[in-house]
A = this chain, B = another copy of it.
Amino acid sequence: MPMFNVYLPAGRYTSDEKKKLASALHRALVEALGVPTGDQFCVMSEHKEDELFIHPTFPDLKRTDRAMLITVIHGDHRALEQKRKLAELVTKYAVESVGVAEDDIMLNMMPFHVENFSFGKGLLQLADKPPTW
């Protein structure tokens, strides 16, 4: 069950922008990993300057006060090329949707075997067959 966590600087994104950002991340996931369009799970939170610490330039980048940290849990059957595509599209669509700079998007992917995911009803829906998406 791919799931994003997005850690935003407080007060730098409107409610409408947060919704557009969620859609952008989901679109990236669908296109890069081929997950079904219904597979959308995302949490955001805002953090003031005493709770969000992002280096302004490391390594050779130029970040602004709109920089955000993103993590995403996904299945560990993904090839490197799919991950590369995911990072590329997450950034591309985030930039397009809310006008953030491409240096302001940091992404940590967290792969786990799909037997670890329950979509509901207390079942591990993907545990008993090879991944189909």
Q: How far is the CA of A16 from the CA of B105 in the complex (A)?
A: 27
A:91-109 near B, CB below 8 Å = 91-92, 102-109
Classify chain A: how many residues form its interface, as a range.
35 or more
Partner of A108, one of B84, B91, B109, B112: B112
Question: Bound state CA distance, A12 and B49, in angstroms?
Answer: 17
A119 touches B106 (CB 8 A): yes
Quick one: which of A18, A19, A89, A122 has the most chain B CB within 10 A?
A122
CB distance from A58 to the nearest CB of B (A): 3
Q: Are the CB atoms of A116 and B120 closer together than 8 Å? A: no
A40-B58, A61-B120, A120-B106 as given contacts; A18 in contact with B50, CB under 8 Å? yes
Chain A: residues with CB nearer than 8 A to chain B? 1, 3, 7, 15-16, 18-19, 22, 26, 36, 38-47, 50-55, 57-59, 61, 63, 69, 71, 73, 80, 83-84, 87-92, 102-112, 115-125, 127
23 examples of A-B residue contacts, CB within 8 angstroms: A3-B69, A16-B50, A18-B50, A19-B50, A36-B59, A40-B58, A41-B55, A41-B69, A43-B47, A44-B47, A45-B51, A61-B120, A71-B73, A80-B115, A87-B118, A90-B118, A102-B120, A106-B119, A107-B117, A107-B118, A109-B112, A109-B116, A111-B112
